[in-house]
């Protein structure tokens, strides 16, 4: 009788523990019963705070872009510079991007600069374009099946903001092409002007995980291309951002 009584008592105890644990598991994971043990109500905020912003969701896949997309970066106007510590976070606060649909046409440097000037005047400064955050740029580039992007900006952009934008893209695994244009002062006497070209930059292979104290990567030039650019040598290369080239002026001759 003692053994049967003991076995019966242990069986009831085991059943009780099992039921109790089952109830606790349901409350803990699904918030049943409202006993304040966490679970389903854990995401609700009672302090009036707001959830941190999340990167833009991935866009659905698209046919692979034949060429790297071109984005013009503009600083956010009339706002103080971000005090965030992370370059990507600062870029979200300080910069907006505008997509220029270039197509596959090839232009001389003069024509490229002229069209770019029109784009900036009408789309960026004229308010006809849709500004994009750096997260939206990253999502769009990846949706097009590429890991590179073309960037340009105006001289009004603060250097730190420009560096932050490039670092934000590299942190997302996206390399950047920068348009190189020869300055007349850099041309050797008697030499013809060198055509404009795109130069590709990526994190330095030896130091890609060792950014500077400001969070900026060391970079290496890893490629050269002539996206949309004909190699015709323009007779005068001033680098004027408005695309206005002339035959007068000191140092503008051949």
Confidence at residue 205, expressed as pLDDT on a 0 to 100 scale: 66
The three-class DSSP label of residue 249 is coil
Confidence at residue 44, expressed as pLDDT on a 0 to 100 scale: 34
Cα 202 off chain centre by: 14
Task: pLDDT band for 181, please (50, 70, 90 cuts).
Answer: confident
Percentage of the chain beyond pLDDT 70 is: 67
| Residue 113, C-beta contacts closer than 8 angstroms, at least 6 positions apart | 240, 241, 242, 243, 245
Which residue range is the domain that position 98 belongs to?
A: 70-225
Domain presence at residue 247: no
Confidence at residue 79, expressed as pLDDT on a 0 to 100 scale: 83
pLDDT > 50? residue 3: no
pLDDT > 70? residue 229: yes
Largest interatomic CA distance in the chain:
117
Domain presence at residue 214: yes
Domain presence at residue 31: no
Domain presence at residue 111: yes
37, 28 Cβ separation under 8 angstroms: yes
Q: Which residue has the higher pLDDT, 62 or 30?
A: 62
- Per residue in 91-106, pLDDT tens? 999 999 999 999 889 9
Q: Which residue has the higher pLDDT, 155 or 206?
A: 155
Phi, psi of 148 (to 5 degrees): -145, 160
Domain presence at residue 152: yes
Confidence at residue 29, expressed as pLDDT on a 0 to 100 scale: 43
- Per residue in 35-65, pLDDT tens? 332 333 333 333 333 344 555 667 777 889 9
Q: How many domains does the chain have?
A: 1
Least confident stretch, 51-60, 198-207, 213-222, 225-234: 51-60
Domain presence at residue 164: yes
Give CA–CA dist 180/157, Å, rounded: 17
pLDDT > 50? residue 248: no
Domain presence at residue 138: yes
């Amino acid at each position: 009788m003692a053994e049967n009584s003991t076995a019966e008592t242990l069986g009831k105890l085991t059943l009780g523990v099992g039921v109790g644990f089952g109830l606790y598991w349901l409350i803990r994971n699904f918030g049943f019963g409202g006993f304040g043990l966490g679970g389903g109500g854990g995401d609700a905020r009672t302090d009036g705070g707001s959830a941190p912003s999340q990167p833009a969701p991935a866009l659905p896949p698209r046919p692979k872009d034949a060429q790297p997309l071109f984005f013009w970066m503009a600083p956010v106007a009339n706002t103080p510079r971000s005090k965030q510590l992370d370059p990507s976070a600062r870029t979200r606060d300080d910069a907006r991007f505008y997509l220029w649909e270039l197509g596959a046409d090839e232009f001389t440097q003069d024509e490229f600069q002229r069209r770019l000037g029109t784009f900036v005047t009408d789309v960026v400064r004229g308010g006809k374009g849709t500004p994009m955050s750096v997260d939206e740029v990253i999502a769009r580039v990846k949706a097009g099946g590429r890991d590179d992007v073309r960037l340009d900006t105006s001289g009004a952009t603060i250097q730190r903001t420009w560096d932050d934008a490039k670092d934000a893209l590299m942190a997302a695994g996206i390399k950047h092409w920068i348009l190189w244009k020869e300055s007349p002062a850099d041309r050797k006497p008697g030499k013809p002007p060198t055509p404009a070209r795109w130069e590709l930059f990526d994190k330095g292979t030896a130091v890609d995980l060792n950014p500077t104290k400001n969070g900026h990567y060391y970079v290496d030039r890893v490629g050269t291309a002539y996206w949309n650019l004909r190699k015709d040598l323009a007779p005068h290369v001033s680098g004027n951002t408005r695309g206005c080239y002339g035959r007068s002026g000191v140092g503008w001759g051949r």
